[in-house]
Chain A
């Protein structure tokens, strides 16, 4: 990725590895952190404080491992993978402690209505899905990964990915059909 200011991702990574260049880090962060944060927020089920923790940890891990990045994918895809894994660890810890999320939020909560459902409804439905289903739907339907890529990421079979996606979609339809948007007055 090349922008008018800062150069390509590869240039910036080179500057960080060679010089520990703080400015290069800041440019990379500004470029990728917003997408990673939105992704993290959806992975952890809409809890902003958890998403912040995931984002922070993902950046720390990513920067520590930067020298081993082989550029077989884009840097953003690689960062998304780290974000996903960090988010899953948090979900596992949360499920062990049996503390359900208490501060559901979707961040910038749009109210635009499309196709009969408000966007906010879809965000809320997404975070209400079981974690395993949500991750597959998020990766497949929102981020555009294939079932094979998802299987590799989540260490499951491609068939498992397909079945989880199917269930997630069915649940979403059920919820959105039976629970009309509450923002209809706006």
Chain B
């Protein structure tokens, strides 16, 4: 700052005492935010609560997809160590359709994941891109798992159906 000042200390003090901040009305922020969203400079936050405290929905949805696949893979692997299915599992498999324990477990895990996807799809603030990415992750994992050796034909068939699902968010239907 150039101090060719002929300001007196009193005048300097007076100028320095001028307040520096003044909160603008909230409507200005809203107008700016809406215009920036309209112009595509900003993308809408997934949900107000999440937006203010946590990450965006995409990492969350992708993580859900990965977890579902890990869960699914774990159950398939676990069933090999668990020996023959217990009575309730056999009963469930009879009701649900698949004849093998692996198949029942794959269907259950897939349905859990479908429920999560559906909940997201019904949220108007979740973008199509986020959902599509989450579905793509699950389908890719299902495709890889269907190639794994040692799976029974029905499980492979279920995994392939999962991989080949041509689902998009607006369809809002179950995966399996």
Instruction: Name A38's contact: one of B20, B29, B35, B42 (CB within 8 Å).
Output: B20
Interface residues on A, range: 35 or more
Check if A56 sits within 8 Å of B20, measured CB to CB. Answer: no
Is the CB of A183 closer than 8 A to any CB of chain B? Answer: no
> In the complex, which residues of chain A have a beta carbon less than 8 angstroms from the beta carbon of B10?
115-116
B62 to chain A minimum Cβ distance, whole angstroms, is: 14
Is the CB of B39 closer than 8 A to any CB of chain A? Answer: yes
Check if A23 sits within 8 Å of B45, measured CB to CB. Answer: yes
Is the CB of A60 closer than 8 A to any CB of chain B? Answer: yes
Instruction: Name A23's contact: one of B19, B23, B32, B51 (CB within 8 Å).
Output: B51
Docked pose: A41 CA to B42 CA in angstroms? 27
Check if A119 sits within 8 Å of B18, measured CB to CB. Answer: yes
A48 to chain B minimum Cβ distance, whole angstroms, is: 8
> In the complex, which residues of chain B have a beta carbon less than 8 angstroms from the beta carbon of A88?
none
Is the CB of A78 closer than 8 A to any CB of chain B? Answer: no
Check if B36 sits within 8 Å of A107, measured CB to CB. Answer: no
Check if A55 sits within 8 Å of B42, measured CB to CB. Answer: no
Docked pose: A141 CA to B39 CA in angstroms? 38
B14 to chain A minimum Cβ distance, whole angstroms, is: 5
Check if B42 sits within 8 Å of A34, measured CB to CB. Answer: no
Docked pose: A114 CA to B16 CA in angstroms? 11
> In the complex, which residues of chain A have a beta carbon less than 8 angstroms from the beta carbon of B14?
114-115, 117, 119, 122
> In the complex, which residues of chain B have a beta carbon less than 8 angstroms from the beta carbon of A146?
1-2
Is the CB of B172 closer than 8 A to any CB of chain A? Answer: no
Q: Which A residues lie at the B interface, using CB under 8 A?
A: 16, 19-23, 25-26, 29, 33-35, 37-38, 41, 51-52, 55-56, 59-60, 63-64, 107-108, 110, 112, 114-117, 119, 122-123, 140-142, 144-148, 162, 169, 173
